[in-house]
Amino acid sequence: MKNFKNYIEENKNRFINELFELLRIPSVSAKPEHDRDVRSAAELLKKHFNKLDLDNCEICETKGHPIVYGEKIISKDLPTILVYGHYDVQPVDPLNLWDQDPFNPYIKKTEIHPEGAIFARGACDDKGQMFMHLKAIEVMLENGDLPCNVKFMIEGEEEVGSDNLELFVKENKEKLSNDIILVSDTGMISKTIPSITTGLRGLSYMEVELTGPNRDLHSGHYGGTVANPINVLSKMINSLHDSNNKITIPGFYDNVIEVSEEDRKEMNLTPFNIDEFKDSIGLIAEHGEAGYSTIERQSIRPALDVNGIWGGYIEEGAKTVLPSKAFAKISMRLVPGQNWKRINELFTKHIKNITPKTVSVKVTEHHGGQPYVAPTDTIGFEAASKAYEDVFSKKPIATRDGGSIPIIALFEQELESKTILMGFGLDSDAIHSPNEHYGVSNFLQGIETISKFYYHFTNLSKD
């Protein structure tokens, strides 16, 4: 087995500078004013693919943001790894809560990352993690050769639901054929406890709009005589959970696959400290569905949360107004057995049922995706496990994450291959939040672990 550590150490400053260049591009997929930036990020990636001497490098156009593709096929007899990641990022607001410009990356030491962390939007999710895969290819090529075939498919719409990637995958099954899909877009337990993500939750994202009077009204003249849409919406939202924090939408839990007592026991043995969890996000008390631990609530149980609620007057000072409209964006995290399209229907039907006749209601669907669980008795998992052990001197723990990467379940359905989620982010890295960052050592160890994976996977594929 090759020792890549020296090469990574000698080249780390350049690796970081190259990542900085990518982080400087504000490729926010959700905002049309950043469309050109999103394209620039795709172009920069293609340049890196060319520099790595990948073949068939291409910016694949879609109805939305492009997909960047490149491959290195050495031999039909060797296994093929398909790398997936995303170069788009979340919006930065609230901008005033960032210590510095989110698109001017810098390194700062933190308690958890004493060697320094890279601060920028996308540092961890997912430019930093995705970029490790490009550098791993460089490491392997410069220190011998690639042990197997590789295909790269990096998209620019993960943060807005991957709708166009779905079509691309369906139309390019042959081009994307592979033996395993490798993704770094999740987290690990802690800096010294490596983990492999074996489950992701699904997602159903909805929006509700209530309309009462045909215009905003004087809240003195009309107050008490008109159903206030914000009051009504609050009451409706409140009724979506019962006193045990179970979701009250009829049929919501119908097909949920319950995890066995044995698996639950094992899951609760993973290193997790509830006080540290509370401290890390400033909580006074825990909360969630009765009968389940926080680890379980976060991974094997569904959840419903309001992501935003608005209407009426929210500027400085007071304005006496009884609003015409109230809005809420609501997401539901789903677990195996649940189908996001069916959940969309159940939600819509239920919201319509509980809307009083004093207001009118409109329910719209945003993006969604299926949950994913991966088996651990595969050569992909074994190869990943060995790779982590090489670098961290510890066997990784299998964990199920609460977040969603909707395209992963679709990969399994369309390409019939499993995905290995080798994530190196930490919960404290603040993805989607102000001051997102990524530990320099996580970045460098990630590059090494990924490189090792290629060799283990190729060897295990021979048996």
Question: Which residues of this protein are in contact with ligand BES, per CB under 6 A?
Answer: 125-126, 158-159, 161, 185-187, 200, 203, 367, 401, 403-406
CA separation for the pair 308, 291 (Å, rounded): 28
Q: Which does 436 bind (CB under 5 to 8 A by kind): Mn ion, ligand BES, none?
A: none
For Mn ion, the closer CB: 155 or 448: 155
Which CB atom, from 52 or from 82, has the smaller least distance to ligand BES? Answer: 82
Question: 106-113: long-range contacts at Cβ-Cβ below 8 A with a sequence spacing of 24 or more?
Answer: 107/16, 107/440, 108/437, 110/428, 110/437, 112/191, 112/426, 112/428, 112/439, 113/191, 113/437, 113/439, 113/440, 113/441, 113/442
Among 391, 395, 394, 405, residue whose Cα is nearest residue 441: 391
Nearer to ligand BES, 200 or 232 (CB): 200
> C-beta of 460: minimal distance to ligand BES in Å?
26
Whether residue 202 contacts residue 104, with contact meaning beta carbons closer than 8 Å, is answered with no
Tokens in use for 122? Answer: 């996308």
How far is 443 from 268, CA to CA, in rounded Å? 28
Minimum distance, C-beta of residue 294 to Mn ion, in the bound complex (Å)? 22
Binding partner of residue 37 among ligand BES, Mn ion, none, CB under 5 to 8 Å per kind? none
Residue placing its CB nearer to Mn ion in the complex, 200 or 334: 200
Helix (H) or strand (E) holding 128, with range, is helix 127-142
Q: Does position 436 bind Mn ion by CB under 5 A?
A: no
- Is 429 among the residues that bind Mn ion (CB under 5 A)? no
| 264 contacts 296 by C-beta, under 8 angstroms | yes
d(CA 426, CA 191): 7
240: closest CA among 331, 357, 340, 363? Answer: 331
Question: Min. distance of Cβ 72 from ligand BES in angstroms?
Answer: 26
Q: How near is the Cβ of 116 to Mn ion at its closest, in Å?
A: 22
d(CA 383, CA 378): 9
Residue of 72, 257, 220, 208 lying closest to 148 (CA atoms): 72
Give phi and psi for 115, each to the nearest 5.
-80, -10
- SS3 at position 226: coil
Residue 125 within binding range of Mn ion, rule CB under 5 A: yes
In the complex, the smallest distance separating the C-beta of residue 178 from ligand BES, rounded to whole angstroms, is 21
The residue nearest ligand BES at its CB is 403
Nearest to 238 by CA among 287, 323, 304, 325: 304
Q: Which is nearer to ligand BES, 176 or 409 (CB)?
A: 409
Minimum CB separation of residue 431 from Mn ion in Å reads: 6
* Interacting partner of 390 out of ligand BES, Mn ion, none (Cβ under 5 to 8 A depending on kind): none
Decide: is 126 part of the binding site for Mn ion (CB under 5 A). Answer: yes
Residue 401 binds which of ligand BES, Mn ion, none (CB < 5-8 A, kind-dependent) = ligand BES
Nearer to Mn ion, 29 or 355 (CB): 29
Residue 54 vs 374, nearer CB to ligand BES: 374
User: Between residues 66 and 229, which has the closer beta carbon with respect to ligand BES?
Assistant: 66
User: Residue 203 binds which one of ligand BES, Mn ion, none, with CB within 5 to 8 A depending on kind?
Assistant: ligand BES
User: For binding to Mn ion (CB under 5 A), which residues are involved?
Assistant: 125-126, 185
